[in-house]
Amino acid sequence: MSHLLSRAFSLDDVARIAQRKLPRSIYDFYSGGAENEITMDANRRAFEELALVPRILRGVQPNTQQVILGTASSLPLVIAPMGAVGYGCRDGDVALAKAAASAGIPYVLSTTATTSIERVAEEAGGNLWFQLYTLRRREVTMRLLERAKAAGYGVLVVTADVPVGGKRERDLRNDFSMPFRFTARNMAVFASRPSWALGMLIRGIPTMPNLTEMAGHDSLPVDAAASVGREFDPTFDWEGLKEIRKRWPGKLLLKGLLHPDDAVAAADAGCDGVIVSNHGGRQLDGAVATMRALPGICDMVAHRIEVLLDGGVRRGGDVAKAVALGATAVLVGRPALYGACIAGEAGVEHVLKILNDELVRVMTLCGLSDMASLNRELISRT
């Protein structure tokens, strides 16, 4: 384990170490939200508003295993899809996938990953899911689907909350863009992290190999990054989702919904589950926090499909709260990425160990033996 991580006792500690290691513009790209970042902050506050009501003298030895979409997982936890990971950690997508496989949990590869669908499958293996952005060129979207199927990904995660990119003002202030570019404003920032800058100079700026087709066969892969934001399809609708359902033989999740009626529509369209998500507060600022939306969605559809939660999970107690309110599992993104940026695969493993240890401790203190014992009796609103 990195000597830096030896003093990281929480996921907030991991984030602070990553902030010291990365150029400000890169850290801000990962950590920031849309506009005033109200929704990003609300995701955390929603957990803090929930108190645990423990039971005593239960003599428990907690079992954290959970079945997610028919497959056993060591934890009710999934590593979330994240784009442009390679800007902070070269080969970071593989490091995340390998750590997830070692921990016995699923990993979701993003369409905008800096490692190809095929390479992650070949080098990491494990319980791989693929997150699909729907693009204006429907044939490109469908070919991404076919590539994931051919590479052995078992679950397709269709992201529905990006008909247009969010306004992320930290990136605008930092001159951060894709394709990545050096400007007078950000050169001094990069120079303050010489090991990071040297890596970029020697190995080049990471590209998005899953999107080279968007740039045309005669263009450089990096050109794809410039067009991906403009290529999100705002006309994609429920009929389009049904077409994907016909083309995808495995499990299908719809990510990025907050309204119970949309969860019902997803079930009607043939989805196996939904992910309650506001994109980590990076899209619509002012949107409801995911933990506030979770109970109503579970009340509507948990008897039909699985419900997962994304956004704001920073403690093992947060995992317990989400499962108690009806989630099958939660997704964790930024903390795992920060671990990768600090120490690669070992850094991600450290993050997962923190969450595992905290979850076991919370379950022991609350008298909970397994995931089935987590229910709404555990929760009190402060």
Structural tokens at position 220: 């450089």
**Token pair belonging to 67:** 């079945």
Angle at 111 between CA 106 and CA 113, to 5 degrees: 80
Q: What is the Cα–Cα distance from 276 to 255, expressed in whole angstroms?
A: 6
CA atoms within 13 A on the CB side of 143: 11
Identified catalytic residue from 217, 259, 279, 303: 279
**Would you call 251 helix, strand, or coil by DSSP?**
strand
Alpha-carbon distance 171 to 318, whole Å? 29
Pairing between β-strand 306-310 and β-strand 50-52 as defined by DSSP bridges: unpaired
User: How many helices and strands in the chain, by DSSP H and E?
Assistant: 16, 12
Tokens of residue 87, six digits: 């800007």
197-228 burial code (b ≥16 CB/10 A, e <16): beebeeeebbbbebbbbbbeeeeebbbbbbbb
Give which of 343, 355, 340 is closest to 93, Cα–Cα: 340
Is-catalytic flag, 279? yes
Residue 163: both structure tokens together: 């008909």
List of residues 6+ apart from 72 with CB closer than 8 A: 65, 66, 104
Q: Could you tell me which of 134, 144, 133, 80 has the C-alpha nearest to residue 108? A: 80
101 Cβ neighbours under 8 A, 6+ residues apart: 107, 124, 125, 126, 127
User: Left if phi > 0, otherwise alpha if psi is -120 to 50, otherwise beta: which for 354?
Assistant: alpha
Cα–Cα distance, 277 to 310 (Å, whole number) = 5
234 φ/ψ angles, rounded to the nearest 5 degrees: -75, -10
Residues known to be catalytic: 279
